[in-house]
Copies of this chain bind each other. A is one copy, B any other.
Amino acid sequence: MNTSRSPLPVRVVALSGGVGGARLAAGLQQILAAGHLTVVVNTGDDFEHWGLTICPDLDTVLYNLAGIHNPETGWGRADESFQVLEEMERYGGEVWFRLGDRDLALHLRRTEWLRQGLSLTEITDRLRHMWAVPSRILPMCNEPVRTLVHTDEGDLPFQHYFVRRRCEPTLVALSFVGGEQARPTPDVLEALAEADLIVFGPSNPYVSLDPILSVPGMRAAIQRAPGPKVGVSPIVGGRALKGPAAKMMRELGELISPLTVVDHFGDLLDGFVIDQEDAALADAVILPTLVTDTIMVDGQAQARLAQEVVEFGLSLPVHPQR
C-alpha cells in the first residue's frame, strides 16, 4: 500500500497518542526513508494491571507501525484470542480491560525487563526491532507519569475513566501525576533537535498530547527545535474522529472545533491541517493552514495525508520568535 513516489529523506518527529496518531505515523513511515521517522509517544495512560505494566499508546503505535494491529479497533492485535482473559474472570480478576493473549505476552515481557532495570526507552526499542519496525518509537520519558482524570464523580486513573467508565463521568480537570519528576529522554531531545519537521498527530489534545508537553523541558525543547511544527486536527466537522476529545471540549466549556486545538497549541505551531469538511474555518485559523481530506480510511489514505502534511510542513516559514 505504498505510494509510487520515492521515500523522502526527511527526518520527521511525530507526537502521538493512540489510534489517530498511530495511523498518521504509519502513513509517515510509508513515505519516509527507513529510519527517518521518530514517534514520541504519550505514556500518561500507562497503568498497572494484573501486576503488569501496560503502555497502551506505545503498543498501539508499535502494532500499527508493525502492521499487526487490529484494523477494526485500531488498537490491539489482529487475530487475537482471549483465553487468559476468559479464565481470569473465573479467578475474580479484573476483566474490564480486555487484554488479548498475544498482547499479554508483550506486557509480561516488558514487565520482566522493567524489573531487570531496563528503561522503557530500551524496552520499546527492543520491541520495535523484534517486529522489524524501521521507525524509532520513543516513550516521552522513562519515569512513570500517570494521567489522573478529575471528574464530577471524583478522581479516576485514566484507564478507569476511559475504558472502565467509557468516559461517562463529566471531565473537570486533568493532572499528570509524577510529571514533575519526569524529563524528556536524551533520545527525545536529540530527535527533536535533528528533526526537519515536527508533527503533532491528530491525537486528543488533553489526554494524549498534553501529557507529552507537560514533561518539564519538553515544550522548551520543541520551541528550540529548528524544524517547522505542524499540527493535524483531531476534530472534524464538530466531532472527534476517535475517542472523547469532543466530549472533553464540551465539558471544559470549549467550542468543539479545530480552532480550539489551534488555540490550545498555537504558540508551538507554525502551521495547521484541517479537514475539508471544515474548509469554512480556514480563514479563522491564525496559522498557515492546509485544508485536505484528513480521514485515514486505509493505508493509502494514511500515506496520502502524511505526504501532504510533510510537503505542507516543509513549506512553512519557521515562526520568527524562535
A97 contact set on B, CB distance < 8 A: none
Q: Looking at the assembled complex, report how far the CB atom of A67 sits from the nearest CB atom of chain B, in whole angstroms.
A: 15
Q: Using a CB–CB distance below 8 Å, which chain A residues touch chain B?
A: 50-52, 81, 83-85, 87-88, 90-93, 101-102, 104-106, 108-109, 111-112, 115, 127, 130
Contact status A104-B84, CB under 8 Å:
yes
Nearest B residue to A79 via CB reads B83
What are 15 pairs between A and B in contact, CB < 8 Å? A50-B109, A51-B51, A51-B111, A83-B83, A84-B84, A84-B101, A84-B102, A84-B104, A84-B105, A87-B105, A88-B105, A88-B109, A91-B106, A93-B105, A93-B109
Nearest B residue to A83 via CB reads B101
Contact status B112-A51, CB under 8 Å:
yes
Nearest B residue to A112 via CB reads B51
Contact status B83-A102, CB under 8 Å:
yes
Other-chain residue from B50, B85, B109 in contact with A112 (beta carbon distance below 8 A): B50
Most chain-B CB neighbours within 10 Å: which of A83, A127, A130?
A83
A87 contact set on B, CB distance < 8 A: 101-102, 104-106
How many copies of this chain? 2
Measured CA separation A81–B80 after assembly (Å): 13
A102 contact set on B, CB distance < 8 A: 83-84, 87
A81 contact set on B, CB distance < 8 A: 81, 83, 101
A52 contact set on B, CB distance < 8 A: 108
Nearest B residue to A87 via CB reads B105
A130 contact set on B, CB distance < 8 A: 90-92
A108 contact set on B, CB distance < 8 A: 50-52, 84, 88, 93
Measured CA separation A105–B108 after assembly (Å): 12
Contact status A51-B93, CB under 8 Å:
no
Measured CA separation A265–B258 after assembly (Å): 80
Contact status B104-A91, CB under 8 Å:
no
A105 contact set on B, CB distance < 8 A: 84-85, 87-88, 90-91, 93
Q: Looking at the assembled complex, report how far the CB atom of A95 sits from the nearest CB atom of chain B, in whole angstroms.
A: 10
Q: Looking at the assembled complex, report how far the CB atom of A33 sits from the nearest CB atom of chain B, in whole angstroms.
A: 27
Q: Looking at the assembled complex, report how far the CB atom of A109 sits from the nearest CB atom of chain B, in whole angstroms.
A: 4
Q: Looking at the assembled complex, report how far the CB atom of A167 sits from the nearest CB atom of chain B, in whole angstroms.
A: 27
A101 contact set on B, CB distance < 8 A: 81, 83-84, 87, 101
Measured CA separation A228–B51 after assembly (Å): 44
A50 contact set on B, CB distance < 8 A: 108-109, 112
Measured CA separation A101–B100 after assembly (Å): 11
Measured CA separation A102–B88 after assembly (Å): 8
Contact status A112-B93, CB under 8 Å:
yes
Nearest B residue to A100 via CB reads B83
A91 contact set on B, CB distance < 8 A: 105-106, 109, 127, 130
A93 contact set on B, CB distance < 8 A: 105, 108-109, 112
Q: Looking at the assembled complex, report how far the CB atom of A63 sits from the nearest CB atom of chain B, in whole angstroms.
A: 12
Q: Looking at the assembled complex, report how far the CB atom of A118 sits from the nearest CB atom of chain B, in whole angstroms.
A: 13
